[in-house]
Amino acid sequence: MKTLLSSALLLVLACAALPVPAAAQSVSPDDLAGRLRVVDLDHELVQDLARRHDLSALELLAANWGLELFEPQTRTGVVMPTANLLPDAAREGIVVNRAEYRLYYFKEGRLVLTAPIAIGEESHETPLGTATVLRKKAGPTWFPTASTRSDFPDLPDAVPPGPNNPLGSHALYLDWPTYLIHGAIDEYAIGRRLTRGCVRLYEEDITRLFEVVPVGTPVTIIDQPVKLGWHEQELFLEAYPDFEQLEELRTSFSFTAKPPEHLEARITAMAGERAKDVDWGAVQAILQRRSGMPVQITAPRTHPVNITDPGVGF
């Protein structure tokens, strides 16, 4: 089992050791966004390293078992999961994938930015479906809802803009009443289910999103824990831990594998004529390990595709 669980990560790192042709360093018009990075952790908190690479701390832990959350650490060869397969949704406007705790913003079919997020807790789930950005506000005032006030009766009627405002510095208001996309004054919330249904971003990410998203932008919220996509004519698979596994990861720095879903039909359909080249052993390992990183599943030994950035030095 240990060999099986580690094989997906070994596939990624084996590709990282290969020389990268110049053409592979440019952005490809396909299903892969970004590139993995491998860096060293030098007497630093995981949260600080994660935020510097625009990741959540739990994303980093999922990709690198054994890292702790609250103690400065030193470790070489830490993999940054900074490559993502694009979700299976229309590439227009804001797309939120709850299962990977990540937001994507597309304009005219092109990915403009992606960022880690916090989503609604179990009793106040961020709803699935489609919405629209109704208005935007820099320096928003927070008005607690009736539900929030019922749970926390000592809250004031309104919280003005400032460092104690839970909406952060910027907010996008949706045509779903009480649901917003906004900043987070608590960076440890990112990557977790800690909101009452809103979508939160790091302050630097909500600032960037606020600047480029116009009123009227469509918002699509989906839940895709497993994604498939093509890059350089090869098929990749990406799988994320579920809520229980993330909770285990937070306390134990690894998580218990669960039986993988039966995705043979979906993968075979996606692979099409390349179905004969699918490495089903790699598929099983990816679905059990759930590192949150894209891993090649067609012909990985005969045509390994490097998706690691060779020039990262921070």
- How far CA 313 is from CA of 15, 44, 307, 309, 310, in Å, comes to 19, 16, 16, 10, 9
Tell me the pairing of strands 193-195 and 218-222: unpaired
Two tokens at 151?
Answer: 């749970």
Q: Do residues 250 and 69 make contact, with C-beta atoms less than 8 angstroms apart?
A: yes
Residue 198 annotated among the catalytic residues of the structure: yes
**Mean per-residue pLDDT, 254-280:** 93
41-50 per-position pLDDT tens digit = 999 999 999 9
pLDDT band at residue 157, thresholds of 50, 70 and 90? confident
Q: Model confidence over 210-225: pLDDT tens digits?
A: 999 999 999 999 999 9
pTM, two decimal places: 0.89
Q: State the pLDDT at residue 100.
A: 98
Catalytic residue among 53, 182, 262, 303: 182
- 170 in active site: no
- Ramachandran bin of 93, using left for φ above 0, alpha for ψ from -120 to 50, beta for the remaining angles: left
Lowest-confidence region among 9-23, 32-46, 108-122, 189-203? 9-23
If one counts every other C-beta atom within 10 angstroms of the C-beta of residue 290, the result is: 25
Tens-place pLDDT, residues 159-187: 999 988 999 999 999 999 899 999 999 99
Q: What average pLDDT does the structure give for the chain? A: 89
Selected catalytic residue, list 170, 198, 262, 303: 198
- The confidence band for 152, taking pLDDT boundaries of 50, 70 and 90, is confident
Q: Specify the fold of 89-222.
A: L,D-transpeptidase catalytic domain-like (2.40.440)
Considering the chain, what percentage of its residues have pLDDT values greater than 70? 89
Query: Which of 80-89, 256-265, 298-307 is most confident?
Result: 80-89
pLDDT of residue 27: 35
Locate CATH 2.40.440.10 in the chain. Answer: 89-222
pLDDT surpasses 60 at 14 = no
